[in-house]
């Protein structure tokens, strides 16, 4: 059944079943938003919905693999069956492949381009009527890798997609602002998410972990990794900041000033 306009805003969050997406959804629900969570894993979605239900807001889930070419249109259609308006669209899903230039594959480039650039653009396009109805806000989750590199991490293809997302954010803010839609991005530093733990920290030896912790302390003026709550707080701000658009907000513990 379609939900009609109520006082509660509606937020759509991709990758909303864990990590940054779940934390952002939690912050938006705490501010009174109803939610539509989009992710691949049905079990994780259900667990997230039960967790977020404690806020007393309505939580819907949409199971979809956004790496599929037709997924953005299908997700938007499912959102449309649930609501005729969207107040906040959080484009959080993304992927990173790090490789030397000589080892960078077409497949890796294409998968990053699709998920990191095309999916946010297509979801924004397909949900435009609902965003117009809600005088809504688009929040794209980018990365510091758009403009800061790290020794030993080879990021040309990945950094290119994040730079493109930042440029798209500013261009859409210019285009959609006259229609009442705000478009912003968040560029996090390294954040201790479940993915970061699984793919990066867990394989480390004790010595490597000690070196990692020292590198973080040396690289970040605030001396620590980010938490998912750090990013969620910024997203909640951008969702409600009525005179902020076209901003790529660095939430990175000062990494990019050093």
Instruction: Please give the order of strands across the beta sheet that includes 59-63.
Output: 59-63, 34-39, 10-14, 88-91, 137-141, 182-188, 248-251
Instruction: Classify residue 4: in a domain, yes or no.
Output: no
Flag whether the pTM goes above 0.85: yes
pLDDT at 226 over 60: yes
> From CA 129, how far away is CA 110, in angstroms rounded?
28
161 shares its domain with 141: yes
51 shares its domain with 37: yes
132 shares its domain with 214: no
> From CA 76, how far away is CA 26, in angstroms rounded?
21
| pLDDT band at 2; cut points 50, 70, 90 | very low
pLDDT at 3 over 80: no
- What would the pLDDT profile of 61-80 be if each residue is shown by its tens digit? 999 999 999 999 999 999 99
Instruction: Classify residue 2: in a domain, yes or no.
Output: no
97 shares its domain with 218: no
27 shares its domain with 72: yes
The whole-number average pLDDT for the span 45-69 is 97
237: annotated active-site residue: no
Instruction: Classify residue 3: in a domain, yes or no.
Output: no
124 shares its domain with 205: no
> From CA 244, how far away is CA 242, in angstroms rounded?
6
- Active-site annotation holder among 158, 196, 200, 237: 158
Instruction: Classify residue 184: in a domain, yes or no.
Output: yes
Helices (H), the chain: 19-30, 42-52, 71-82, 106-113, 119-126, 128-134, 156-176, 194-196, 206-219, 228-240
81 shares its domain with 137: yes
Domain holding 202, by residue range, is 195-225
Report the domain count for the chain: 2
* Percentage with pLDDT > 90 across the chain: 94
Instruction: Classify residue 254: in a domain, yes or no.
Output: no
- What would the pLDDT profile of 124-181 be if each residue is shown by its tens digit? 999 999 999 999 999 999 999 999 998 889 999 999 999 999 999 999 999 999 999 9
pLDDT at 6 over 60: no
In DSSP terms, 150 is beta-bridged to: 153
94 shares its domain with 217: no
Q: Helix, strand, coil: what percent of the chain each, to 5?
A: 50, 15, 30
- What would the pLDDT profile of 7-46 be if each residue is shown by its tens digit? 799 999 999 999 999 999 999 999 999 999 999 999 999 9
178 shares its domain with 64: yes
CA 81 from centroid of its chain's CA atoms: 23
């Amino acid at each position: 059944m379609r939900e009609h306009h109520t006082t509660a805003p509606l937020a759509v969050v991709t990758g909303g079943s864990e990590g940054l997406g779940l934390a952002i959804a939690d912050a938006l629900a705490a501010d009174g938003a109803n939610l539509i969570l989009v992710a691949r894993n049905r079990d994780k979605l259900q667990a997230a919905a039960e967790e977020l239900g404690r806020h007393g807001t309505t939580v819907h889930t949409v199971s979809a693999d956004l790496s599929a070419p037709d997924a953005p249109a299908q997700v938007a259609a499912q959102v449309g069956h649930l609501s005729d308006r969207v107040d906040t669209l959080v484009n959080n899903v993304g992927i990173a492949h790090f490789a030397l230039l000589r080892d960078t594959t077409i497949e890796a480039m294409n998968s990053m381009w699709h998920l990191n650039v095309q999916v946010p653009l297509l979801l924004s396009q397909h949900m435009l009527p609902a965003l117009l109805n809600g005088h809504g806000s688009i929040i794209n989750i980018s990365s510091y890798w758009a403009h800061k590199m790290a020794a030993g991490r080879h990021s040309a293809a990945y950094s290119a997609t994040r730079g493109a997302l930042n440029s798209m954010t500013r261009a859409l803010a210019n285009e959609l602002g006259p229609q009442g839609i705000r478009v912003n991005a968040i560029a996090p530093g390294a954040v201790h998410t479940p993915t970061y733990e699984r793919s990066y920290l867990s394989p480390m030896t004790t010595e490597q972990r000690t070196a990692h912790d020292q590198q973080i302390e040396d690289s970040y003026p605030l001396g620590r990794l980010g938490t998912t709550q750090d990013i969620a707080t910024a997203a909640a701000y951008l969702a409600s900041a009525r005179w902020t658009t076209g901003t790529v907000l660095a939430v990175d513990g000062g990494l990019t000033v050093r």
